[in-house]
Chain A
Amino acid sequence: MSTGLHFTNVGRAPWHRRGFFASQTFYVAVAFALIALGMAILSPIFLSGGNLYNISKNFSFVAIVALGVTLVIVTGGIDLSVGSTMALVALVTVMTLNAVAGRFSGLPGLALGAALCAGLATSLAIGLINGVLVAKVGLSPFVTTLGMLSIARGLCYVITDGRGQAPQGDDAELLYSLADGQLLGLPMPVVYLLVLAGLLGLVLHHSAWGRHLFAIGGNERAARLCGVRVDAVKISAYVLSALAAGFAGVLMAGWLGSVPANLAFGYELRIIAASVIGGANLAGGAGGPLGAVLGSALIEVIRNGLVLGKVSPYWQDTLIGLIIILAVLVDRLRARRAG
C-alpha cells in the first residue's frame, strides 16, 4: 500500500526472504510435494483413489487435534493431555449414548445429542482445568498437562474397567454416518478438518483474539501491559485444544465402531510433532492451521510410504523423529542466514 513515506535507508527483504515464502510452513509444503511426487513415481498404488482416501482419513484425526494444540503452542504453552482427552471424551460419549439408548425412542438424534453434550462437558472441564492451572495458578504447562494426561487416561480405565465400549441403540448408525460417511466424495473427517482449519485461519489472522494469541507467545509481559486479557486468552486456547481433541475422539469412535480404553494412546507426540513440523514454535509466537495440516499430512504420507515400500513399521517412529529434527534444523539455518 502507499503511505506517502519515502525511505532512504530502510531496505526491504526480497520476496523469497519474507512472509510465507520464508516460513517453515513453506519448506514443509515443498517437502510434502516432493515426497508425494516421489512416491507417485515409485509406487503405482500411492495415487490410487482407495489409498488417497485412506491417507486423508487417517491423518484427519491427528490434524484436527493438531489445530487445537497449535493454539496452545502459539501462546508458548504445550498440551500433552490431548491423546488421553480423545479417549476419555470418546468413552464418555459412547457410554452416555448406551445409557440413554431406547429412552428417546421415536425421537431420532436425541440420544446422540445427549451423548455429545456429555462429551462436550468432559472436554470443557479438561480444558478449563488445564487453562486455569496454567494461566491463573501459574503452573508450568508441561507439568500440568502431563498430570492431566495421566488423570484422563486413568479415568478411561476406571469408568470402563478396561473394557472397550461399542455404540448401541438407534442413534449408533447416526454417529457412524456423521463420523465415517462421505460428503462430495470426501470422507467426513476430512470435511470437518477443512472447515475447522479454514475457520481457524480466519480467526487467527483476522480477529483481535488471534492477534492476542500471537502477542502472548511473542512477549507475554508486553501483551499484559498493553491491556490484553492474557489469562482469558490462554484459558481459551487450552479449552479449544481439549474441544478439538474431544471432537476427534468422537470421530474415531464412529470410525472404529468401538472405543478401547487405550484409544489414541501415545497420540500426543504425533500431534505435537505435526504442529512443530508445520512451523509452530515451542517457544511461542508462531504457528498456524496450514502448518498443522501440512505437518500431519507429511507424517501420514511418510507412514504410508513405508507401508507401501514394505518397510518394517518399527521404523516409523524413528523416521518421524528424524523429520521433526530436520524441520526445526532447516528453520534454524534459515533464521541464521536471514540474520
Chain B
Amino acid sequence: MRALLRFRHGVHPPERKERTAALETRRMPYPPEVVLPLRQHAGKPAIPLVKAGDRVERGDKIAAADGYVSVPIHASATGTVAAVGLWPHPDGSYDQAIRIAVEPWSAQAARPRLVPEWRGLSPREIVAAVQEAGVVGLGGAAFPTHVKLSPPKDKRIEALVVNGCECEPYLTTDHRTMADFPDRVLLGVRLMMKCLGVPKALFGIERNKPDAIEAIRRALPGDIDVEVLPLTVKYPQGAEKMLIQALTGREVPSGKLPLDVGVVVQNVASVATIAEVFETGLPLVERIVTVSGNGVRKPANLIVPVGTKLRDLLDACGGLSDDASEIVSGGPMMGVSQRDLETPVSKGTTGILVLTEAEAQRNRTYPCIRCGHCLDACPVFLNPQLLGSLALKARYGEMEPLHLRDCMLCGCCSYVCPSHIPLSQIFAAAKTAIRKAKTTEPAKAPA
C-alpha cells in the first residue's frame, strides 16, 4: 500500500455532492433554440461556415478551427441558422455566436456518417480526428485536446494521467461519467495512450467516489497498464500540478507544463468524449452538466446539447426556487456568476449551480489581520497576504517576482480569509492589468 496520495495545503470546502451524486445521467429534451459561441475553447475562436437561413443537421460542422490551437464547432441540434452575432457569453462578456432555431419535430438523428475504425489508424490520424471532432478539455479550462495529445518530439512522455478528481464541490459529472460509462472511459484511455505512445496510465480519483473507483476497476482491460489510485479528498486536488504531485511525487517547475515532468493530464470527461467520437462518429455536440444548488427544484446530471440556454436547462430541472439568488456556471470555487439566463452552456461548462442567499454567504470585508491563513491554504505556496496588499496599492511590478504568474486563481485563499478579502479576484484583476501593460508598452515604444 502506498502512502496517502495528496498534495500539501489546499482547503476542505463542504462537498455538497449528495444531491446529485447518485442520480444517473439522463437526457434533457431539445430546447427550441441553441446558441453556440465561436469561442468555447482556449486559443483562437472558430471561423463560422454558415449564415442565417442555412439548414444544419446535428453534428454538422458550422465553424472551422482557426489554426492549430483551435477547434471546429458543430451544430448540436438540427435546425435553421437564425443569426450569427453577439450573444451573452458564459465568461460574462458578449461574443460572436451562431444561433440555431431547432426543428421542433426532428428526431435529432445525426446524418449517417463513417465511424473511423481506430485500430487501423496511426496516432497522427487519431489526433487529427480528435481535432476535427472539436474535442476540448471538459474539466473547465477547455484547452484543445489534440494539442495536449501531440507533445513536441523532444519531450519524453512516460505516462498519461487521467483526472477523475472532480474536487469542486457540488459537481458530479465526472463521477457519473465514470460510474455510468466505465468502458467508454477506458476506451478513451486506450486511445490516448496510443496517441502518446505511453505504456502506462495513472487514474486519479478522489476517495469520495467509491462507486466510480469500483466501476473503473471492474472494467479495467487486462492488456493495458492502467493504475487506479484513490486520492485524498481536498480542494484543488484536480488542479493539474497538484494531481501530478499527488500521483507521481513530481513537482511541475514554475512556468513549465506537465510535459516537462513527463506526463500529460486529461480530464475524465474529455477521455470519454474521445471514445464517443470513435464509437458513434459524432463530434462533441453534447456534454454532461450537473445542475444543482438549493435554488433549483430538481437537481440532475443531464446530457445537454452544447449551446442550450440556461433558461431551458433550468426549466428542464423543475425551475428555480423562490429564494434563488445567484447562478454560477462551473463549480462554486472557480465558477463564474451569470447575469443572463440567455447565456448558453458551452463545451467547458461542468455545472450550473443555483445558490440561495444562505448558500452563497456574502459577508462584510474587514482589513487584513495578518492571520496567515491564506498562506496555509495556497497550494502553490504563494503569500496571498503580501500579494493582496501590493495589489490593492496597484504595485503590480512588485507582484511578479513573488510568482503571481503561478497563481492559478483556485480561490483557496479567498475561501479561508476571515476578513473576506476577495484575494483571488484581486489577483485575476492584477494579472489582467499586468498583461495589458505588457501589450501596450511595446506598441508605444516606436512612437
Q: Do A and B come from one complex?
A: no
Name A residues whose Cβ lies closer than 8 Å to a Cβ of B.
Answer: none
